[in-house]
Amino acid sequence: DPNLRAAAWEIAAQSDAPAFLTEARARETRLSPAERQRVIRLAGGAKTTEAGAWLRGLVDQLVAGQLTPELALDTIESVERHQDASVRDSLKRLPQAAGKNGVDRLRYVLTGGSAAAGRDVFRTHVGAQCIRCHDAGGEGKQAGPVLAGIGGRATRAELLESLLDPSAKLADGFAQTTVYLRDGDTIDGVRISESTDSITLRLLTGEKRVIARKDIDKLAANPVSPMPPMGDVLSAAQLRDVIEFLATWK
């Protein structure tokens, strides 16, 4: 059982790091991708020179373009956790970016995620709240585009772009309108219908609000998506899982 094996690797790493590393290296090529990701991450907490040597070797493979892409993010984040500064310094050989951690890890989130974990993030992550806008009842009943079948309509790179910069390309029919009322209040939503007497907005909550034109001072297009940039909300590993979930949602 994958969950049992995952727990066993974690216990082994905590109780006897040298034996864990010996076993992990011996089985490395026979493990599933998900299990290899786990043992690589566990190696980052192993306070042994053997762990450091293994991780440096993985960085060497990554620099040379020989490491399986699905293992790149786990290698980077494991190396960052290792106690030996010389091991951590091996990451300086990778392409750098201005991100808070230096290494441009987002190039490594397109593959290797868990669709099941991504589904959990989509449905339960308190900060992201994806389900609130994107799975609230279907077309016409939610504040964000319907994502069912998105895996057949967008590439992984496009999914990542939409997650990192939601305002870069707003989906048709979901451009926001800001309504300035005569009483000084403002209302933001998607304009879904209008008449000579009123306009109807779909709010972020999915609620429909009919606003009488006599109460409106002015209308303004709002080019900013109400969705926050997910790079500020989710970790790189969570982004990888969400991309896997969305890419397989067909």
Of 12-16, 65-69, 79-83, 168-172, the least confident: 168-172
Give the per-residue pLDDT at 103: 57
Q: Rounded to two decimals, what is the model's pTM?
A: 0.77
| Dihedrals phi, psi of 41, to nearest 5 degrees | -65, -40
Residue that the structure tokens 């989509």 belong to: 122
Q: Which two tokens stand for residue 116?
A: 């099941």
| Cα-Cα-Cα-Cα dihedral sign, residues 132, 136, 142, 148 | positive
Q: Are 146 and 138 in contact (CB under 8 A)?
A: yes
Q: Are 223 and 168 in contact (CB under 8 A)?
A: no
Q: Which two tokens stand for residue 108?
A: 């490594």
Q: What are the pLDDT digits (tens) for 68-110?
A: 999 999 999 999 999 999 999 998 888 764 444 445 678 889 9
Closest to 217 in 3D by CA, of 186, 247, 246, 248? 186
- The C-alpha atoms of residue 203 and residue 208 are separated, in whole angstroms, by 6
Q: Which two tokens stand for residue 50?
A: 């053997």
Q: What are the pLDDT digits (tens) for 108-161?
A: 899 999 999 999 999 889 888 887 777 644 544 556 677 778 888 889 988 998
Q: What are the pLDDT digits (tens) for 175-213?
A: 778 889 999 899 888 777 888 899 888 787 767 889 999
- CA 98, 107, 127, 247: dihedral to nearest 10 degrees? 160
Q: Are 11 and 19 in contact (CB under 8 A)?
A: no
Which DSSP string corresponds to the chain? Answer: -HHHHHHHHHHHHHH-HHHHHHHHHHHGGGS-HHHHHHHHHHHTT--SHHHHHHHHHHHHHHHTT-S-GGGHHHHHHHHHH-S-HHHHHGGGGS-B-SSTTSB-GGGG-SSS--HHHHHHHHHH-TTT-HHHHHSSSSTTSSSS---TTGGGTS-HHHHHHHHH-TTSSPPTT--EEEEEETTS-EEEEEEEEE-SSEEEEE-TTS-EEEEEGGGEEEEEEE-S-SSPPGGGTS-HHHHHHHHHHHHT--
The percentage of residues in the chain with a pLDDT greater than 90, rounded to a whole number, is 47
CA 233 vs. chain centroid, Å, equals 8
